[in-house]
Chain A
Amino acid sequence: MGKLFGVVIAVIAIASAVPIVMHTWDPPPNISTHGHAIDEQLSDTMLEAGISFLAAQLFLAFFVWKFAGRKDGAIKSFPGGARAMVIAALVLVGSEILALGVLGQKAWASVYFSPPAANALLVQAQAGQFAFYFRYPGPDGKFGVIHPDKINEGELNFFGLDPENDVEARDDIVSAELAIPSDREVHLLMHAKDVGHSFYVRELRIQQDFVPGLDLGLHFTATKPGKYEIVCTQLCGLGHYNMKAYLSVLSQGDFDEWLKQKASEQ
């Protein structure tokens, strides 16, 4: 049984690594300017974690295979004893932490520690049970104020706007789809209408929670035109699984056309 178990561990360890090595279920190609840093961090970590995983499992398998049922001879100790183990852990994990954890914070910094560009496209995203809505400020560049008591889904007033009294709200453009120009930074203002939600686009390498009562800013630049899925990743109720929208990355010309079209529909 000892030998069999050793073989089982080895087979499982190697089989587990196969889909990773074959890139069977890799993330989809990145379409953002910051995403490659995250991808690099991910693949470096995969390499280091993968080696640690295989080494530990194969050593375990080998030792079980070799020492199970051993009856004769004296108990031997691993050369170096506990001191060797402590030093090995400190050096191996310590250097991994330095390489990935400390130096690798660039990727995080590129998303969160730089201010949005001055010419970034301002879009507000509102998450509510169970849909996203997006709002563009219109020609005046300003958003109308949200009045929670005026929110009425039946009358399609998703943001609780008051265009009769609020000049800035009159030219706001509301859409269920997030269209953005490629190669231009987008500054997304995130507002939660009811409970917690999250904004996740795999291809953008972006995930950020919507926090009720706390409007957050998030900025990113998409580089590849196309249509991508936005899904909610924060449990928000029974319709959570179905809370999604589309992100359309368009050329600047197509985007201008789209915005004009949307404005005329308001």
Chain B
Amino acid sequence: MAEATASAQHHAPPQSFIRKYVFSVDHKVIGKQYFALALVAVFVGMVLSWLMRVHLVWPGFAIPGLHFLSKVGAAGNVMTPEYYLSLMTMHGTLMVFFVLTNAPFAAFGNYFLPIQIGAEDMAFPRFNMMSFWTTFVAFCVLVAAFFVKDGPPISGWTAYAPLSAVGSDAGPGLGLGQTLWGLSIAIFCLASLLGSLNFIATTLDLRVKGMTLSRMPLCTWAWFITSCIALLAFAVLLPACILLVLDRTAGTSFFIPSGLVVNDNLQPHSGGSPLLWQHLFWFFGHPEVYIAILPAMGIVSHVLINSMRRPLLSHKVVIACMMTIGFLSYMVWGHHMFVSGMNPFSALVFSFPTLVITIPATIMTLIWLGSLYGSKLRINTASLYALGFISMFVSGGVSGFFLAQPSIDIYLHATYFVVGHFHMVMGVAALFGVFAGTYFWFPKMTGRMMNESLGKLHFLLTFIGTYCIFMPFHYLGMAGNVRRYSTFVADYLQPLMPVHRFITIAALVTGAAQFIFLFNLIYSRFKGAPAGDNPWEATSLEWSTSSPPPFDNFGGKHPIVYHDPYQYGVEGSKGDYIMQTSPEPEEAK
């Protein structure tokens, strides 16, 4: 392996515990911190969903300890409607921001983007540290909402104004809890802006010799494109949240019109527009879906190529598809607002790009499928999750075709069909990407392998379980089952209760299976088999250094890149692959 000698190190390895593990500027430590935060958030979010599912089908059931989570609404541990809505709001907010944004993008991106391009660290290591700790503050502010007097907010993760803007008159949880929500998300936006700037600068500036843009692995491309999306999306949500907090605390009226009578009180506001909030929120909100799914697509491609022992049918087409998706993601936000009261003509304008965005998504799916054909597919937990991702992405994607059409959305809008759609495509598919990444990169991050038997068991239970949970959501939606109801009192919903019971049981079992993952993670960290530098016989730069990599990633040297990222199945090579750093002549291809 040829390496140039590094002229100077960016910074010396820290010695003190605090600088090493807490306020570290090392991108690898920061990546793990993001991962740990996402892990805490995902388990809290999951337990919240358990509580909701149990309440939906056994409303009178007293859940022991329920009153600990909120000061209000759990007398005798039986859940009230406002308690349900606060769980729902916190579940959505935790999952979308602190799990689906943090895990596939911030955690893995931080850890592996610099290594995959041969850099010693991010372009701005101190900014990087600030990004994580600012995110952590956002998390603490959000969780604080559990402990305030009138409980966490109840307006959902979308916080539609004026419900979220008029204050306590509109109901419990809409006082301090809602303000904390607005502040938390504003702080989160700030952290994400810092983080995405850093990702962009790092990708453009710190690539080592030979690492041209087209030689970057697909996950690096995905993180890079995602950073560009995040930079523009969070830059809009940040002011939106500030305006919301001002409406709540400073008496402004950005989102509140005149003449509202809430709880018999005439509101002292005038001139605002509830639709403005929806436009600003979804201008962020739809790109956010791709902030969650694009890194997962990149990770899945990266893992799948390694497991198939062959490159995808086209590297460049996949990159072009991801860029197209990123670009189009800004033109489709109005499909969340077909029946919101915006001009019905604009529905047609938003419908078209929404339908068109399925083209690059379909191309990517066909390329994954077509690449599987004739491959030498290695089955392990990482590749199973990557394959599972494709299945989930297809299932969640086809339901998007319904919701992209305004006329069908009239019937399906705000039903469980929508909930099933976004949980499958944004939630489960993105999490499958995270699981694939975890099982794949754990050996690099810790120097130890994860347990494969436990991994496969975890996969099978999760794959079957999530289908059992989210496929029936679509059926419920077809029957007109409205979402965000704490109890189903309407007459027409009664025949659907058996379906809900089935979903709740599936959710309890699938959730429990996640503790296998948690156990595997902790057990393998200490007792896993030693991994070696390159256990998967992979080609990209992260596998050319030790496991775990040293502080400056390549031991004081700069690797030199000679090849495209995925030289698998190369005839004439010693194994069936050539590493990017291997100086074998290009002709060997």
Contact = CB atoms under 8 A, between A and B. Distances in A.
Contacts of A241: 81, 484-489
A69 B376 CA distance: 6
Interface in B455-494: 456, 460, 463-464, 467, 471, 475-476, 478-480, 482-492
A184 interface: no
A192 to B, nearest CB: 8
A70 B308 CA distance: 10
Contacts, number: 323
A213 B258 contact: yes
Contacts of B463: 8
Contacts of B478: 25-27
Given A213-B273, A235-B163, A229 B490 contact: yes
A176 interface: no
Contact of B155 (A59, A76, A235): A235
B313 interface: yes
B172 interface: yes
B142 interface: no
Contacts of B475: 19-20, 24-25
B413 interface: yes
Interface stretch (B132-140, B201-209, B223-231, B354-362): B354-362
Given A38-B408, A194-B260, A82 B314 contact: yes
Q: For A37, A45, A213, A232, which residue has the most chain B Cβ atoms within 10 angstroms?
A: A213
Nearest to A45: B402
Interface residues of B, number: 113
Nearest to A242: B489
B538 to A, nearest CB: 16
Interface stretch (A97-105, A167-175, A254-262): A97-105
A76 B405 contact: no
Given A42-B402, A92-B362, A101-B355, A67 B492 contact: no
Interface stretch (B5-13, B116-124, B364-372): B364-372
A75 B370 CA distance: 12
Give chain A's interface residue range (CB within 8 Å of chain B).
35 or more
Contacts of A149: 261, 266
A242 B161 CA distance: 20
A69 B262 CA distance: 64
A89 B480 CA distance: 32
B399 A194 contact: no
23 contacts: A45-B402, A52-B398, A69-B378, A70-B375, A77-B313, A82-B314, A82-B317, A101-B352, A101-B355, A107-B407, A148-B260, A160-B261, A196-B274, A202-B411, A212-B257, A213-B259, A233-B483, A237-B170, A238-B171, A238-B486, A240-B484, A240-B485, A244-B489
Interface of B: 80-82, 85, 154-156, 160-163, 166, 170-172, 174, 256-264, 266, 272-275, 308-310, 312-314, 317, 339-341, 344-345, 347-348, 351-352, 355-356, 358-359, 362-363, 365-367, 369-379, 384, 387, 390-391, 394-395, 398-399, 401-402, 404-408, 410-411, 413-415, 456, 460, 463-464, 467, 471, 475-476, 478-480, 482-492, 496, 499, 568-569, 571
The 6 A-B pairs with the shortest beta carbon distances in the complex, nearest first, are A213-B257, A76-B374, A82-B314, A107-B407, A112-B344, A241-B485
Given A76-B373, A196-B163, A237-B171, 10 more contacts: A1-B379, A67-B375, A85-B317, A96-B401, A97-B352, A128-B261, A194-B261, A195-B162, A212-B257, A213-B260
